Amino acid sequence: MSRIKEFNLPDLGEGLTEGEILSWLVKVGDTIELNQPIVEVETAKAAVEIPAKWAGRVQAIFHSEGTTVEVGTPIIAIDTDPGAGPVDAPSTAAPGGDLPTPSAASLAAVEVAPAEGMVEPGLIGGPAPGGRTAVLVGYGPRTTAAKRRPRKGAVPEQAQPAAAPAPAAPVPTAPVPTAPAAGTNGHAAPTGGLVLAKPPVRKLAKDLGVDLRTLTGSGPQGSITREDVQRAASGAAPAELLAGAAPAVAAARFGADREQRIPVKGVRKLTAENMSRSAFTAPHVTEFLTVDVTRAMKALDRLRTRREWRDVRVSPLLLVAKAVLLAVRRHPMVNSTWAGDEIVVKEYVNLGIAAATERGLIVPNIKDAGRLSLRELADALTDLVQTAKAGRTSPADMSGGTLTITNVGVFGVDTGTPILPPGESAILAFGAVREMPWVHKGKVRPRQVTTLGLSFDHRIIDGELGSKFLRDVGDFLADPEAALLAWT
Amino acid sequence: MAKGDPGVTTRGRRATPRTRKRASGDPELVQLLTPEGERIESVTGPDGIEYRADFTDEEYRGLYRDLVLVRKLDAEATALQRQGELGIWASLLGQEAAQVGSGRALRTQDMAFPTYREHGVLYCRGIDPIMPLGLFRGVDQGGWDPNEFKFNMYTIVIGAQTLHATGYAMGIAMDGKTGTDEGEAVIAYFGDGATSQGDVNEAFVWAGVFNAPMVFFCQNNQYAISEPLERQTRIPLYQRAAGFGFPGIRVDGNDVLATYAVTRTALDNARYGQGPSLIEAYTYRMGAHTTSDDPTRYRIASEVEAWQAKDPIARMKAFLTNQQLADADFFAEVDEQARRESVHLRERVLAMPNPEPDTLFDHVYPNGSPLLDQQREQFSRYLESFEGSAH
């Protein structure tokens, strides 16, 4: 047993596949004790400290802070007997520990993690279309290493690399334990869509070492048949399956070119996906309306002085929310979803409020906001904002939105052309309320003015409907009392 | 701590729920050791029973040792999970006193039905702490002989064990094993979240109606995973017992002495044939629900700090120090023992063998079955078809 041991990132929850290194609590050369916290890792479920599995001295740290690491990848090497003199092969670990991959030399003395087994796409535990991991119930996708032994009496040509067919020769413990993106047999980088094959065929493919993703099915609906698999096992091999056997060269990190590379993940990744999806599927139209909201601001001031409203946070956003909810009642089509061959119009309004948080943009929504009284709406808004600021917004809070307000005014800008949250048909941008010269009763007066920007899905909402809706929101904000009297 | 019958000296008379007087919603709490480590001589509970716990010096020290060991072994298991050696772990951190107090109150003949978090009770039953770890490591199914240890298997299904326990207790009564000092009693552990389960309420009904020799021991650690207590109940949990026709009492679950006294009284009532009772051990889960959970997402730090000040071990240590029942050497020795045992536990966990593939056919039927034999045969042939097969 080697004295240098590598610690692989374990599955810290149930069925997690990766974790982000938040911070290293030790550095190369440190002497550490058993169970001493060495690193803080954040997974989809929690940020946790990992205690050292062995006492000894830190020999190498393989991933820098901020890196997302796959479960099963070595993250640290520990010399468990530092008193016994230098290790045969010198470590190339840099002080401060920022090594993308251990060099082959440094690994001479290192125990090697078993290569991971192949998991087929579409299967439970295998990557599903879209990169998700398909899990029905239980403890999630298989993340531990699975080494496959060769079958007795395997087809002879498997042994000859020249004629080597598809079944990637059972991988002996590979010399490169890290490099998650490297090997042919990691479950990294699922490509292609769902592979259709009956379970016995999948089993056969697995036994023969055939990657179903590389086959074209000849069965019904393009499904892969037993014959397809057998043909692949005895016939030609896709070359790329064997290509990855060479040790991966670690990607160089940029430094001298004065560019920073920020990995796209978490909220940023989700935001990007949603925005692209929406922008390129729903034809957006944006209209603007500038409104004198002086009366509304005065109404808010009066509201604040009322005893029962004393402890309530009253903001202009509250009035905008109320305006939107009332206008939806008059134009229900605005609160709808394009569902391909039908339009789903909703009676309930789950009112989304875009919020900038430390983690990025999130859009929690107030469920069934149309049923709330103004007071309840105020409380719900306050609660929503505080929850978002504290980073405690739950996925349930963020799903099911039907109509959204984005309060860009808080950043001091006048308006914008917001992009629809996927599945919604309208989003209102609420700009800054400014004191501006405005013609009021025939004279130019300083008045409080704001600009509203409404983007809507032109597949559902015509210019007329969009304009009427926006106009109603504006009318309410121009004179809330009159609108209330007229509409309700 | 010596077995036998130390501790509680008074067995109080028993009031019926009907005549008990209690201010509704009052969080009354039986406490014999304050968070500052002050000893309270005796407490008359809202049920009219006087609770005392008179221990010898050696027994006090023994309880402290239990608490420290149980916490340390639990911490080791959490570390093992973080290191990828256990699939999951449900930590008992913060609930040591509730488990040691009730576990030590059990007599040899009593039967315990745990959840999956009762590592401290298991320890107090004299069971090797390695026993449940195969389950969490995924190398066995968590099976053992409940009769051998008078400790049922860990039950993952929330609340299910309360029904098993009630049935078991009804069996004891039907066998005529209650009514004397040698009578048997049953304790069922569950959490605050489980009180919302149908199973638990059914168990209450059956135990109440059949006067089963049962103690329902609820460790109210304030959260059902992320769901706080106030979303589980409108009244203190112990008061629910009244509706089912048996007494309920709330004890400071971070006070090992009070927990012991209250549990011992309830167990004795059960063994003498006086029926079930509900104990609500008011405590706090200092850690996560399991290692898959992140409590910072639903609890605020100040709440955790407030409970930190009520730590079960700190108050026991303060008490032992103030009363000069123990010195620094003693505390160091206990810590050293805890360290030794945790290292020993770690080594044995790492050495746990992986099960042979065909053991999955074991324990399906007590005497096997021809169909299973056939499948086992086919399976071993399949395994033998691989190179390097040991079969």
State both tokens at A274.
């949603």
Distance of CA A225 to the CA centre of its chain: 35
Cα of A54 to nearest chain B Cα, Å? 10
Residue type (1 letter), A154: A
Interface of B with A (CB under 8 A): 76, 79, 81-85, 87-88, 288, 291-294, 296-298, 343, 384-389
Distance of CA A410 to the CA centre of its chain: 26
Which residues of chain B make contact with A154, given a CB cutoff of 8 A? 387
Helices (H) and strands (E) in chain A, counts: 10, 18
pLDDT at B19 (0 to 100) = 28
Instruction: Return the residue in A22, A39, A45, A207 with the most chain B beta carbons within 10 A, the one to mutate for interface testing.
Output: A45
Q: Is the Cβ–Cβ distance between A449 and A467 less than 8 Å?
A: no
Cα separation of A53 and A32, whole Å? Answer: 10
Q: Do A7 and B293 lie within an 8 Å CB cutoff?
A: no
Instruction: For residue range B227-274, list pLDDT tens digits in order.
Output: 999 999 999 999 999 999 999 999 999 999 999 999 999 999 999 999
Cα Rg of chain B, angstroms: 22
Does the beta carbon of A152 lie under 8 angstroms from any beta carbon of chain B?
A: yes
Q: Do A46 and B84 lie within an 8 Å CB cutoff?
A: no
Sequence-separated (6 or more) residues with CB below 8 Å from residue B80:
B86, B89, B346, B349
Q: Is the pLDDT of residue B75 over 90?
A: yes
Q: What is the 3-state secondary structure (H, E, C) of B319-358?
A: HHHHCCCCCHHHHHHHHHHHHHHHHHHHHHHHCCCCCCHH
pLDDT at B21 (0 to 100) = 34
Higher pLDDT, B11 or A324: A324
> Which residue ranges make up each domain of chain A?
4-107, 115-262, 266-487
Q: Do A45 and B294 lie within an 8 Å CB cutoff?
A: yes
Which 8-state DSSP code applies to residue B154? P
DSSP A128-176: PGGGPBP--STT-S--S----PPBTT--GGGG-GGG--SSPPPPPS-S-
Sequence-separated (6 or more) residues with CB below 8 Å from residue A301:
none
In whole numbers, what is the pLDDT of chain B averaged over residues? 90
Q: Do B288 and A8 lie within an 8 Å CB cutoff?
A: no
Residue A349: helix, strand or coil by DSSP? coil
Does the beta carbon of A188 lie under 8 angstroms from any beta carbon of chain B?
A: no
Positions of A marked active-site: 458
Q: Do B83 and A46 lie within an 8 Å CB cutoff?
A: no
- Virtual torsion, Cα A179, A185, A186, A191, nearest 10 deg: 110
Task: Select the residue of B83, B343, B384 nearest A10 (Cβ to Cβ).
Answer: B83
Q: Which residues pair with B112 in a beta bridge?
A: B151, B187
Q: Is the Cβ–Cβ distance between A23 and A60 less than 8 Å?
A: no
Q: Do B298 and A392 lie within an 8 Å CB cutoff?
A: yes
Instruction: Return the residue in A7, A38, A42, A48 with the most chain B beta carbons within 10 A, the one to mutate for interface testing.
Output: A48
Shortest CA distance to A460 belongs to which of A323, A320, A346? Answer: A346
pLDDT at A5 (0 to 100) = 93
Give exposure, B93-116, as e/b (b: 16+ Cβ within 10 Å): bbbbbbbbbbbbbbbeebbbbbbb
pLDDT at A471 (0 to 100) = 96
What mean pLDDT comes out for the span B204-224?
97
Treating both helix axes as pointing N-terminal to C-terminal, what angle do B96-105 and B312-322 enclose, rounded to 10 degrees? 70
Cα of B136 to nearest chain A Cα, Å? 12
Which residues of chain B make contact with A151, given a CB cutoff of 8 A? 385-387
pLDDT at B371 (0 to 100) = 93
Active-site position among B52, B285, B299, B315: B285
Q: Do A7 and B83 lie within an 8 Å CB cutoff?
A: yes
- Virtual torsion, Cα A103, A108, A109, A115, nearest 10 deg: 80
State both tokens at B286.
């200092």
Sequence-separated (6 or more) residues with CB below 8 Å from residue A107:
A89, A175, A176, A177
Q: Do B385 and A152 lie within an 8 Å CB cutoff?
A: yes
Q: Is the pLDDT of residue B275 over 70?
A: yes
ipTM of the complex: 0.74
**What percent of chain B is predicted at pLDDT more than 90?**
79
Task: Select the residue of B82, B292, B384 nearest A50 (Cβ to Cβ).
Answer: B82
Q: Which residues pair with A352 in a beta bridge?
A: A365, A404
Q: Do A14 and B88 lie within an 8 Å CB cutoff?
A: yes
Active-site position among B39, B82, B231, B298: B298
Cα separation of A436 and B125, whole Å? Answer: 79
Cα of A48 to nearest chain B Cα, Å? 8
Which 8-state DSSP code applies to residue B33? B
Q: Do B79 and A151 lie within an 8 Å CB cutoff?
A: no
Q: Do A50 and B83 lie within an 8 Å CB cutoff?
A: yes
Residue B160: helix, strand or coil by DSSP? helix
Q: Is the Cβ–Cβ distance between A274 and A422 less than 8 Å?
A: yes
Q: Do A48 and B82 lie within an 8 Å CB cutoff?
A: yes
Claim: this prediction has a pTM higher than 0.80: no
How far is it between the farthest Cα atoms of chain B?
Answer: 76
What mean pLDDT comes out for the span B187-210?
97
Does the beta carbon of A13 lie under 8 angstroms from any beta carbon of chain B?
A: yes
Q: Is the Cβ–Cβ distance between B345 and B352 less than 8 Å?
A: no
Which residues of chain A make contact with B343, given a CB cutoff of 8 A? 34
Cα separation of B140 and B134, whole Å? Answer: 5
Shortest CA distance to A332 belongs to which of A318, A344, A319? Answer: A344
* Closest chain A CA to residue B80: A53
Cα Rg of chain A, angstroms: 30
Residue type (1 letter), A248: A
- Residues within 8 A of B (CB atoms), A 51-80 only: 51, 53
Does the beta carbon of A150 lie under 8 angstroms from any beta carbon of chain B?
A: yes
Q: Is the dihedral of CA A282, A287, A293, A296 positive or negative?
A: negative
The secondary structure element, H or E, covering residue B52 is strand B50-52
Cα of A143 to nearest chain B Cα, Å? 11
Reported as a pLDDT band with limits 50, 70 and 90, residue B152 is very high
Which residues of chain B make contact with A392, given a CB cutoff of 8 A? 297-298
Does the beta carbon of A395 lie under 8 angstroms from any beta carbon of chain B?
A: no
Cα separation of A482 and B259, whole Å? Answer: 66
CATH of domain A266-487: 3.30.559.10
Cα separation of B289 and B296, whole Å? Answer: 11
What mean pLDDT comes out for the span B196-216?
97
Cα of B159 to nearest chain A Cα, Å? 19
**Cα three-residue angle B25-B27-B28, rounded to 5 degrees:** 120
Q: Is the Cβ–Cβ distance between A295 and A318 less than 8 Å?
A: no
Task: Select the residue of A45, A150, A392 nearest B386 (Cβ to Cβ).
Answer: A150
Domain A4-107, second-level architecture = Beta Barrel (2.40)
Q: Is the pLDDT of residue B391 over 80?
A: no
DSSP H helices in A5-131? none
Task: Select the residue of B293, B387, B388 nearest A46 (Cβ to Cβ).
Answer: B293
Distance of CA A312 to the CA centre of its chain: 35
Cα of B46 to nearest chain A Cα, Å? 39
Q: Could you list the pLDDT tens digit for every one of the 488 residues in chain A?
A: 578 999 999 988 777 888 899 899 999 999 999 999 999 998 877 778 999 999 999 999 999 988 899 999 999 999 998 888 776 544 444 444 344 444 444 433 343 333 333 333 333 434 444 444 444 344 444 444 445 566 665 554 444 444 444 444 444 443 443 333 333 343 433 445 678 888 888 888 888 888 888 888 888 888 898 888 888 877 644 333 333 333 333 444 566 677 877 878 777 787 888 888 888 888 999 999 999 999 999 999 998 888 888 888 888 999 999 999 999 999 999 999 998 889 999 999 999 999 887 777 888 999 999 999 999 999 999 999 888 887 788 777 888 899 999 999 888 899 999 999 988 999 999 999 999 999 999 999 999 999 999 999 999 999 999 999 999 999 999 999 999 899 87
Task: Select the residue of A7, A10, A14 nearest B292 (Cβ to Cβ).
Answer: A14
What mean pLDDT comes out for the span B275-279?
97
Q: Do A45 and B84 lie within an 8 Å CB cutoff?
A: no
Task: Select the residue of A11, A13, A151 nearest B386 (Cβ to Cβ).
Answer: A151
Cα of A87 to nearest chain B Cα, Å? 24
- How many beta carbons lie within 10 A of that of residue A488, not counting itself? 7
Reduced DSSP (H G I as helix, E B as strand, rest coil) percent helix, strand, coil of chain A, to 5: 30, 20, 50
Does the beta carbon of A462 lie under 8 angstroms from any beta carbon of chain B?
A: no
